[in-house]
Amino acid sequence: MTNVREASFELLRRHGMTTMFGNPGSTELPMLHDFPSEFRYVLALQEAVAVGMADGFAQASATVGHVNLHTAPGVGNAMGALFNAHANKTPLLVTAGQQVRAHITMGANLTNAESTTVPRPFVKWAFEPPRAQDVPAALARAIHCSALAPAGPSFISVPMDDWNAQVADDRDMALRRTVTGRAGAAPEVVAALARRIEGATNPCFVAGPGIDVSNAWRQAVALVERCRMTVFATPATGGGRLGFPENHPQFHGVLPPAIAPLAAALAPYDLVVCAGTSIFPYYPYLPGRPLAATTTLVAITDDPAEAARAPAGDAIVADVGITLQAVLVEVDGTDRPVPAALAAPVPATDTTPLSSARVYDVLAEILPVDAIVVLESPSSTGALRNRLRISRPGSYYFGAGGGLGFGLSAAVGVQLAQPSRPVVCVLGEGSAQYAITAFWTAAIYQVPVTFLVLRNDEYGILKWFADIESVTGAPGLDLPNLDVLATAASYGVPGQRAGGGSEDLRTKLLAALSSAGPALVEVPVSTGMALM
Ligand SMILES: Cc1ncc(C[n+]2csc(CCOP(=O)(O)OP(=O)(O)O)c2C)c(N)n1
């Protein structure tokens, strides 16, 4: 006979899900009993950090990630990170402990009385199996549910006495199933889109994270080159990943995130083809028509809800990569002129302290070609995108939900998923605090992320928002004496402060990049928003 635990680990093994992130409590220990040697448990010191690590790991490994949380309080701690994973559309199995079944009705200590309500609405499915022997099948269902488009977290609450229960011998029928769900658009829909592109006077293309997820950079590049389309990236607010090489001559930058300026940026084009993005991840609210009267739009997305809620344009609900490939086969080339290339950014000058733009010029000079950047430095997102011009697939991760704490934790997960590629995690000193204990995990597991912390002693972007919102006199926007360097060192991540200009920064960054373990560079930067 087999018990629930053995059957569940067998299921995870079959799906290649042998890395588990978590923070354990008494209700999770029965799951971890006799932990199989070919599995890896990555300990995070707080649940939001565990979810962020699993999110980065799942995205960078293109697998369903697994995070195990403590019962009610642990799931509560995880909610902000679950919001991010949901926004990132990250396939994630979230398991959580629950009281012994006999204890639930009497509401014993640590009972999660509303176990399937708590994680909503940030999970696609939340379930507590009605019988112990159903746990492996529920886990299987959650894995399939998470992976199917639109991908996202699914949640299973497991009463702690379930793990030692026996399972039926016919379990294999449920556990051996494969479920595949990538579907392209109907041929007539593909043909209609090809004709619209051929008939357009001045079409452009907007690349979203879904292109990276569906492994379709090649198709996106081939399509825009054949059809000579100008390319934009979807606004950075929702561009959790990149769908197009940003050093390509037809790339014209990142769209602004607010309604009116975004519509103005697209106004010169009579057709906008969007792939793998919502329409659009707007913020802040600057009202206006979503599109100019002369602009039409078609979005390709694998997310029906995203298609339905768009304020303008047509939508095709289908796998982005398969559909781009089909359009590529169908569409004729054009004799429209190739769009003029965007000017390279003007190098920033050395100042004391350095500007964020100058920091990114230095990073761009020394960043290894195969590097992965994980970004959470809110006031300088624009400057980083403009100056790094990241140009390889799977090389950029950003928390599309906007909840801070993703960057530092996800970077550890990304590096664990991609051990042979250098990972550089760029953080604001304020953002680092939301996942600060991830430094401990990076140190203990010797995860060799290079952390670059930009220190401006303030919540810089909030001062910019205050201007836009006509708010004056708001408290709580300054961060004096926040010493990330010392805090990271206390967790075991060595670091250096680069306060001596760009040469000093270059030297210290190179040293951090060549370190065998995690290393940190903190650089003082000037205040204010760095859009370019
Ligand atoms: C969980 C969470 N809490 C609060 C915020 C609001 N918030 C957005 S940006 C920001 C400031 C971040 O400061 P820092 O990392 O120092 O970056 P800077 O803006 O100075 O570049 C804050 C607090 C958020 N996005 N997420």
Q: Which ranges of the chain have pLDDT less than 50?
A: none
- The residue with tokens 């912390």 is 453
523 CA distance to ligand 1 middle (Å): 18
From the CA of 405, give the closest atom in ligand 1.
1
Pocket test for ligand 1, best of 82, 122, 431 (most atoms within 8 A of CB): 431
Task: Please give the DSSP secondary-structure letter assigned to residue 169.
Answer: G
Q: What are the pocket residues of ligand 1 if the criterion is a CB atom closer than 6 Å to any ligand atom? A: 80, 377-380, 402-405, 428-431, 434, 456, 458-462
451 CA distance to ligand 1 middle (Å): 17
From the CA of 458, give the closest atom in ligand 1.
20
d(CA 498, CA 251): 33
Q: What is the pTM of this model?
A: 0.98
Q: What angle do CA 318, 319, 320 make, to 5 degrees?
A: 105
459 CA distance to ligand 1 middle (Å): 6
At residue 172, the pLDDT reads 72
From the CA of 461, give the closest atom in ligand 1.
19
d(CA 10, CA 472): 58
430 CA distance to ligand 1 middle (Å): 6
At residue 61, the pLDDT reads 98
The residue type found at 264 is A
Render pLDDT for 376-421 as a digit per residue (tens, 0 to 9): 999 999 999 999 999 999 999 999 999 999 999 999 999 999 999 9
234 CA distance to ligand 1 middle (Å): 21
SS3 at position 303: coil
Rg (CA), the chain: 24
CB contact at 8 A, 190 and 162: no
B/e letters for 142-181, b = 16+ CB within 10 Å, e = fewer, are bbbbbbbbbbbbbbbbbbbbbbebebeeebeebbeeeeee
CB contact at 8 A, 298 and 315: yes
408 CA distance to ligand 1 middle (Å): 13
At residue 459, the pLDDT reads 98
